[in-house]
Amino acid sequence: MPLPEQARRVAQLPPYLFVEVTRKINEKRARGEDVISLAIGDPDLPSPPHIISALVTSLEDVANHRYPESDGLPAFRRSVADWYKKRFGVEFDPDTEVLPTIGSKEGIAHIAWCYLDQGDIALVPDPGYPVYSVGTMLAGGESYYMPLHRETGFLPDLDAIPEDVARKAKLLWINYPNNPTAAVAELDFYERVVEFAKKYDIVVCHDGPYTEVAFDGYKPVSFMQVDGAKDVGIEFHSLSKSYNMTGWRIGMTVGNAEVTNALMRIKSNVDSGVFQAVQLAGIAALEGPQDTINHHNAVYQARRDKLIPVLRKMGLEVDPPKASLYVWAKLPDGALSGDFASRLIEEANVVVTPGRGYGEAGEGYIRCSLTVGDDALDRALERLSNVNVSDLL
Ligand SMILES: *Cc1c(COP(=O)(O)O)cnc(C)c1O
């Protein structure tokens, strides 16, 4: 019996970009070849032990085995508010301006349902984290892409957005420290964002999971630090990258109470919140010792400093990142990132992410992640040192 045709939104999902690459990697690995992936943005270092202990203890309490409340444990929301106050000097009402998410990806996908009706516009960075545009599409909205260029520090040019598009737009996505470009934003940019959002009545969604992953003593700022941010939007944050907890699925939003409430209402109808034991472990993460953050950052920084000279020797252009888990490198003019990445697997058994996978404006770049173990990274660098880009093009 034939099944009915799937909904158009399924067909509209972007093809899984790495099907071909994954097939190639698996084939090579099956032949016993040592394929090293610099394409994965998932911290390799373990979650800190005091957070694991907090989870184990919380697991043994049967009270935590039941459905959590959709808006989370008051104690978790309070601990998020305290952390923001301590880290960024911004205050939030834990009852109305903070919401836990099942990892920020979940919240990012669902916020579109709060503001986008059929045909409504979301302003989305290109290159960008794919969930902004996918969430928009699933909600029936349209993405208007804002290209990010190296010449302008990979910040969108808000003045270049046509007036009629800005008037129709309901959501604006920004993300700093940025994935994939590793660019950072300062408060003056966020001030311009608030001004733009107020002028056109747009909800700003700032995605900031990398504010704690930074190098050389640099401290990224929060969008929420600028005057008026809370009038126009919310910030998505996550314990995933700060505390190496990607698999635990816990994140949070802070900001405008009306936006927070809309997201809570959508979420309470489609999910039942974050496992309480994980929320209690999240409290341990936010309130416990923060020294692992510096330790992890030192490890990523050392990897960054080994990787960049090798990429440059290959003939790529790199601006050393101040933050994030990535190095974004520019190929020689005219080179296609997909072709380059496939040849690199063939030639060196090293996998990088083609920039085109993050949008049209990502073409001509590759992303290397700093989350591969040091031994594997050394082997990868050894091989890359013997590659000349012109032989791959
Ligand atoms: C990793 C990442 C996230 C979210 O991760 P979660 O594990 O879902 O919290 C969100 N945005 C960007 C840009 C990311 O790179």
Q: How confident is the model at residue 1 (pLDDT cuts 50, 70, 90)?
A: confident
Residue 392 has pLDDT above 80, yes or no: no
Q: Decide if 250 contacts 55 (C-beta within 8 A).
A: no
Residues contacting residue 349 through CB under 8 Å, at least 6 positions apart: 28, 33, 34, 35, 36, 383
Q: Tell how far the Cα of 163 is from the centroid of ligand 1, in angstroms.
A: 31
Residue 15 has pLDDT above 80, yes or no: no
Percent of the chain having pLDDT more than 70?
99
Q: Tell how far the Cα of 236 is from the centroid of ligand 1, in angstroms.
A: 9
Q: How confident is the model at residue 23 (pLDDT cuts 50, 70, 90)?
A: confident
Evaluate: CB of 367 within 6 angstroms of ligand 1: no
**pLDDT at res. 389:** 79
Q: Tell how far the Cα of 105 is from the centroid of ligand 1, in angstroms.
A: 6
Residue 370 has pLDDT above 90, yes or no: yes
Q: How confident is the model at residue 17 (pLDDT cuts 50, 70, 90)?
A: low
Mean pLDDT throughout 87-103?
98
**pLDDT at res. 22:** 83
**pLDDT at res. 14:** 84
Name the residue type at position 26: N
Residue 137 has pLDDT above 80, yes or no: yes
**pLDDT at res. 20:** 73
* CA–CA distance, 25 with 21 (Å, rounded to integer): 6
**pLDDT at res. 283:** 98
- Mean pLDDT across the chain, nearest whole number? 96
To the question of pTM greater than 0.85 for the whole model, the response is yes
Pocket test for ligand 1, best of 211, 213, 241 (most atoms within 8 A of CB): 241
Evaluate: CB of 105 within 6 angstroms of ligand 1: yes
Percent of the chain having pLDDT more than 90?
93
**pLDDT at res. 361:** 98
Q: SS3 of 256, please?
A: coil
* CA–CA distance, 316 with 331 (Å, rounded to integer): 5
Q: How confident is the model at residue 19 (pLDDT cuts 50, 70, 90)?
A: confident
**pLDDT at res. 21:** 76
Evaluate: CB of 129 within 6 angstroms of ligand 1: yes
Alpha-helical segments (H) within 219-256:
229-232, 239-242
Which token pair is 83? 């952390």
Residue 8 has pLDDT above 90, yes or no: yes
**pLDDT at res. 388:** 81
**pLDDT at res. 263:** 98
Evaluate: CB of 47 within 6 angstroms of ligand 1: no
Evaluate: CB of 103 within 6 angstroms of ligand 1: yes
Residue 393 has pLDDT above 80, yes or no: no
Maximum alpha-carbon separation in the chain: 62
* CA–CA distance, 391 with 226 (Å, rounded to integer): 48
